[in-house]
Amino acid sequence: MGVIDTARTWLEQDPDPVTREELGALLEAADAGDAGALDDLDDRFGTRLAFGTAGLRGALGAGSNRMNRVLVAQAAAGLAAYLRERAGTDASPRVVIGYDGRRNSDVFARDSAEIFAGAGFDAVLLPRLLPTPVLAFAVRHLNAAAGVMVTASHNPPDDNGYKVYLGGTDAGSQIVSPADAEIAAHIDAVAAGDIRDLPRSSGYEIAPESVVEAYVQATAAVAPAGPGAEGMRWVYTAMHGVGWETLARILDAAGYPAPTPVAAQIEPDGRFPTVSFPNPEEPGAMDLAFETAREVGAEFILANDPDADRLAVAIPDPAAPEGWRRLTGNQIGLLLGWRAARTADAASGATLACSLVSSPGLAAVAEHYGLGFAATLTGFKWISRAPGMIYGFEEALGYLVNPETVRDKDGISAAVAMLGMIAEARASSRTVADLLTEFDETFGAYVSDQISLRVSDLSLIGRMMSALRATPPATVGGISVARIDDLLHGVDGLPPGDVLRLWLEDGSRIIIRPSGTEPKLKVYLDVRAETADAASERLAALADGARDLLAAVG
């Protein structure tokens, strides 16, 4: 079947008037001989958005290579078939569905609820747009077989996605292999038919407010406010996402002073009008927060990404261009890991975990306190499964601080943990900057950097990884490479992954891998030194060498 015939078949079953109009116009232009329209159709229908361990994520629009109601219906029905296969024909498993404030998130969530209900499942839709961590919590709280969160997290405004969690023995974690391939196979089988033939039902349940309240109370208990919280002046931004309503309730329950919100970014808005890229890590994304903090004389800033599963922290810094400095994910992760380690029971088998691209400083913290340590493949689907894990983090602003409640990164509970740590420091007249200094003095100065190469042609990333494997570098930045671990074949008990890890003679580390969610090649740099200044100097030289390496294979 040619691409035009494929598009017409798709159009016949599409229930969305917006994407129907979009696709109809393209077909009309293609019929008139418009080469650009034909190319567009080929891009939309030449392949499908791949369902993997991150679920689905892509740009909104008509076509099998876009996020839309047809694709979501196929995904929901495929997931239902997989869950039915696991549970048996006599069972009525529960599936809980959540959604954020992105365009069509609510529509995709309701479509999914109707399809799960039509397939005979006990389908539960969260009562309104809510953070991703609330959905992850609800999977365990409601003893669900699975959960679906409709979100594209911090992706560009025109994207949306479909994230899947499993209950039971998976304990509310995101899916891992082989579940992803098995679900994908069921989705492909559904896609061979017509979504109009899928049974639907409006007999799904709207989750009671008590589910959200249970999350609020559990998260407030992470770090109830102590005396050091009094008079705390801080700024918060939701980055046009869904974090504020839930966080505000938790702050009240935990006893923390309310922040000054960044007014222009506090309400959900899927257009993300004040930022070009709704990710606190991106340059310019926190400019309004810095401006607000200067106006009110804030001590620190906390920021969530749009679905509130990530946390950013910024502190005053006269040397920074804006007078404020955003901490790296590794700095936040090490501080929160230090907090977790101080109260852990070493005899209990407690483990600190992080992804292999995150700072090796967490291993030093674990060793200092006699705790276990685990380095996993990237993603909280792996971190959350580390045996004995009491705390986990990933350098991309993700932190898991309450694994008995949420088995995924949670930017809201991380915010509460950070508030608790700051309040404790304030009680002894210390700041976040003082905590960073104390960490360096206790464990050594660990500094990290990341280089990202964004591409328009995904095949370039594969070619660059192949070139690095075929001709591995002998030196980087003038320092000899002592060892290269190719995780494609599995190393240190890790599942295979498209990752190269280079250890240099001076103890520095370079990790190179494709991004799992964006068209990027990522390079992670880590060094340790006795002082922060010495570490920063070594890191700068290593970054220059890494850029030269990318240029040589690009």
Check which CATH number belongs to the domain holding 177 and give it.
Answer: 3.40.120.10
Percent of the chain past pLDDT 90, that is, above it, reads 88
Given this model, what pLDDT does residue 517 score?
A: 67
User: Tokens at residue 332, please?
Assistant: 């936040």
Res 430 pLDDT > 70: yes
Q: What is the mean pLDDT of the chain?
A: 95
Check which CATH number belongs to the domain holding 481 and give it.
Answer: 3.30.310.50
Check whether residue 423 and residue 321 sit in a common domain.
yes
Given this model, what pLDDT does residue 378 score?
A: 86
Q: Is the pTM of this model over 0.85?
A: yes
Given this model, what pLDDT does residue 476 score?
A: 93
Catalytic center residues:
153
CA-based Rg of the chain, rounded to a whole angstrom?
24
Q: What is the pLDDT of residues 305-317, one digit of tens each?
A: 999 999 999 999 9
The dihedral sign for the CA sequence 304, 227, 389, 357: positive
Query: Looking at 207, 228, 255, which one is the last position of a domain?
Result: 207
Q: What is the DSSP letter of 55?
A: B
Report yes or no: 501 and 524 within 8 Å, Cβ to Cβ. Answer: no
Q: What average pLDDT does range 53-79 have in this prediction? A: 96
Given this model, what pLDDT does residue 509 score?
A: 95
Check whether residue 349 and residue 396 sit in a common domain.
yes
**The residue count for the chain:** 554
Q: What is the pLDDT of residues 339-361, one digit of tens each?
A: 999 999 888 899 999 999 999 99
Report yes or no: 377 and 172 within 8 Å, Cβ to Cβ. Answer: no
Check whether residue 63 and residue 82 sit in a common domain.
yes
Given this model, what pLDDT does residue 375 score?
A: 94
| DSSP three-state, residue 108 | helix
Place 321 in a pLDDT band, splitting at 50, 70 and 90.
Answer: confident
Res 490 pLDDT > 80: no
Check whether residue 393 and residue 407 sit in a common domain.
yes
Q: What average pLDDT does range 7-21 have in this prediction? A: 96
Check whether residue 96 and residue 185 sit in a common domain.
yes
Query: Looking at 417, 443, 469, which one is the last position of a domain?
Result: 443
Buried b (16+ CB within 10 A) or exposed e, 468-502: beeeebeebbebebeeebbbeeeeeebeebebbbb
Q: What is the pLDDT of residues 198-241, one digit of tens each?
A: 999 999 999 999 999 999 999 999 999 999 999 999 999 999 99
Query: Looking at 392, 418, 443, which one is the last position of a domain?
Result: 443
Check whether residue 67 and residue 13 sit in a common domain.
no
Check whether residue 436 and residue 291 sit in a common domain.
yes
Number of folded domains in the chain? Answer: 4
Spell out the SS3 assignment of 6-18. Answer: HHHHHHHHCCCHH
Check whether residue 362 and residue 252 sit in a common domain.
yes
Res 91 pLDDT > 80: no
Q: What is the pLDDT of residues 155-201, one digit of tens each?
A: 999 999 999 999 999 999 999 999 999 999 999 999 999 999 999 99
Percent of the chain past pLDDT 70, that is, above it, reads 99
Given this model, what pLDDT does residue 454 score?
A: 87
Q: What average pLDDT does range 401-422 have in this prediction? A: 97
**What range defines the domain where residue 466 resides?**
445-553
Find the angle CA(466)-CA(472)-CA(478) to the nearest 5 degrees: 135
Rounded Cα distance, 487 and 542, in Å? 22
Q: What average pLDDT does range 87-115 have in this prediction? A: 93
Find the angle CA(23)-CA(24)-CA(26) to the nearest 5 degrees: 65
Check whether residue 388 and residue 266 sit in a common domain.
yes
Check whether residue 199 and residue 234 sit in a common domain.
no
Check whether residue 312 and residue 236 sit in a common domain.
yes
Check whether residue 110 and residue 252 sit in a common domain.
no
Q: What do you get for the CA distance between the two ends of the chain, in Å? A: 37
Place 461 in a pLDDT band, splitting at 50, 70 and 90.
Answer: very high
Q: What is the pLDDT of residues 147-162, one digit of tens each?
A: 999 999 999 999 999 9
